[in-house]
Structure formats: structure tokens, C-alpha cells
Structure 1
Amino acid sequence: MKRALAGLSATGLFLTACGGVTEDDHYESADELVEAYESEGGECNEPQTETSFDDHGDAVRCSSGVSIYTWTDPPRREADVPEELQEVLKLHAGEERRHVAHQTWAFSVKGEDSAEWVHERFGGQILSADAYRDYVSPLHNAYEECNDPEWDEALTYDETYEVMTVNGAYQKLGDHLSAAGTAAGIVWFCVEDELSVPQHVQDHIGSTTSLQGRQDARWDEFSASWSYHPNNGLNLTLEWEDDS
């Protein structure tokens, strides 16, 4: 993850600002930035405080689809990416949004046109959907893409320890897969795709029998351990370590 952050910050995200804002511009709160946004012609109807950002700064979510974030402290070095911005991007991971960010504030908007509009008036840099996914762990991304509330027992994710579990994939009921086993199998197929699990690891997992006990494998920054029994299905634990 650090490599991804360094690669993006090297593009000059916080070195310069184009548009109406200057490096000296500062907003004391999200409400103040909302006022500036509206003075430029933007709409923030029914503004709601975003409490999930409370520990990092101020945030206002507008019913018009824009969220506005401010925080107090700029990064120590010009090339650093603020932790607050990383939190903003994490809040919106998996969403089709664009972010316009500077040293102590960020806009989260829907669509490229909206991002361009904000950028022209406030400066900063536009982060695309592909770019901001690099700010969060691959397990987080996979969970956002593959978790289904209807199958909430099939997939779990612990963000603190970067551990994901797949529970009961391909569980059998008699000679056929159970409904839960089918659902968890679909979830595991999605996770495999999102994490680009190597084919030899997929083959190892797919060929595991109940007599082999717990198996494990490592690749890149991932480790996996799993077991399989027809009555319980495939139960698999994935861990990710940022070695950068």
C-alpha cells in the first residue's frame, strides 16, 4: 500500500494546485467549505454531518451527491498523502466516485463532469476510481466487491488485522450443494478474481479433500489456510501483509 501511496503522491497531488485555490487557502470547517462551494454555484441540499469521519476532521454529506471533508493539519512533507484523505477514500471504496483533494480538504463527487467542475473552481487534483482503490487494502476492496448482505455469513473481513474468511463454500446437502454452500462458492469465486489468486493456489484449494486436514499457501503479500469437508464446506482464511 505504501508503494501505491508513494506512486500517487509523486504525481504532485499536494505540490501545486490549479484552479481558484492557492496553497494558502484554508477552511476551518466543512461548513465553511460548503459555503464556498455554494457561493460558486454548487448545491448542497439537506446537508448531513458524516459522523464516521469525526475522528479525522469535519465532513458534510449533501443529498445532491457530493461529500465535503476538511481537516486541520497538512502533511508533514509536501509529497505525503494525509491520513485523513486515506480515510476519505476508504469511506468511498467500491463506489463509482471521483475525489478532488488538496492538503487539508477533499470533495467526493459523482461523475467526471462534477469533478472537473470542482477542480476548475477549487484546484487540487482529481483522483479517479482506479487510483483511489490503491489507498485501501486489497482485502478491503475484495470485501466491498464480493460481500452480499443476503449471504452475510459467507464472507467476513477484519479491517484491523487484515483477515478475511470464506465460510462454507461448496457445502453439500446429500449429493447436492446446499443453498449456503452455493452462495459461499459464488463469493469465493468473486474473491479469487478480485485478488488474482494464482492458478496453482486455486488448484490446490480446489483439490483439497477432507482427509488432508488444514492446508496453507503463500503468494506475494498474501497467506491462506483452509480445510474442506462436504458437511462443512470450504472454510478459508486469507491474510494480507503490507511488506512495503
Structure 2
Amino acid sequence: MMPLDATSQPYQKFVLDKIFKIIEQRLNESQITHDIAVTIPASKFEELIVLPITISQSNTLYCLDKAQTSNNPELTCIYWQAMNGDMMLTISNEEISPDKDPSNLQCLICYVAAKSSTATDDFHQVYSYLNYGSPYQHETNVHTNQFKAKSNVFYRGCNTDDFFTFCLKISHKTGEVILSHAGPNGIYNHEKIQYRFGKSEIDLSRIDFIYVSAGN
């Protein structure tokens, strides 16, 4: 590489200083997590994997470059994709740990059933549901049909050969929670599972930690 002549050196210094300044600014800025990919082992919902960012942290990052935003959002929307279903989102007000006293623990449960098999004529779809309580009570709730809101036609009209895109909409003030399809399947399937939780059931303004788990 040939050395620059004396007349080009000031320009090179100017350009490099600009580049270094931009790099330094980006290093000092908080980085917003746009996507998280998680491989979940089948554990019959006994192994809960916590996501590396909470709802409050996500809102703080969102507010960094936005004017007139609130530290107490009225609405939270969680979007995610899953291949076959039979998975659960658990959103809690504190960390879930066997070593912690669970007396103050509050959990919003969102279960997405396994997709129905298209290999047989016997079409059967188990319930997808919304609930509150312990994520470890899934089998009991299924057998006793104890759900706050449910649907056994949640995949009707969907393309089951690709990833499903789901949306969980949480209204922190009104207590309303809505589970629906997003993406291409949202065009054909308008099924919504929704329920308005009372404060005596669960305080949605306090939930923060997001866990994922899988069934069989």
C-alpha cells in the first residue's frame, strides 16, 4: 500500500476521526435486543427457561430514543414463533426458583397446544388456553378443565407446515389478555383467546419475567 501524500493526510484523519466517533457512540449506547432464539427441551413443563430481558427492561430500552413515553406502559405485546406448539409462556412478577418462597409469586400462563396431525382423518385439537397460577399445574388443569379462557379451534385455517407466529397482548391497566395469531396465519385465522383478569386473581401491572417451557 502506497503512503498518502501530505495533501491527503488531513482528509484521512478527518474521515478516521468521524468513524471512530461513530463507533464510540454505538459502544456507549444501550443495545436493544430485537430477536431471541431459544431451543426448548421437552420437559413436561418442569424446566422453565427465563428470557435474558424482562418486560420492564424492554420498555426502558424502547423509551431511550422515544419522546413522551411512560415508564409504566399500558400495553405490552409479545410476539414469538414456534414450530409445533405444545409450549408455554409464563410471565411472573418475580423470579421463579425452587429456593424462593412462592407465597408472593403471581404468574400469567399462556399455553399453545400442539398442532393437530394432518396425517389422519381423525382431526383432534387440544385446548390452547390462558390462565393464572403455577406453570407446574398444567396436567392438573387439563384434566380438570380449569382455564380462564380456552379454544380447541386455535389452528383452524392455519398453514401447519411452517412456523406459527403468535401475539400475546397484555393490557396492564384493564387486566385484559388476548392470545391470537400474527403473520400470514392471522389473515385466515381470527380466533382469539381472551380474558379480563381481576386484581384479586393477578396484578398484570407487576408481571415482568418471561419464561418458556415445553411439554412432550
Task: State the TM bucket, normalised to the shorter chain.
Answer: under 0.3
Determine which structure has greater relative contact order: mean sequence separation of CA pairs < 8 Å that are 6+ residues apart, divided by chain length.
Answer: 2
Look at both structures and tell me which one has the larger radius of gyration over its CA atoms. 2
For normalisation by structure 1, the TM-score amounts to 0.21
For normalisation by structure 2, the TM-score amounts to 0.23
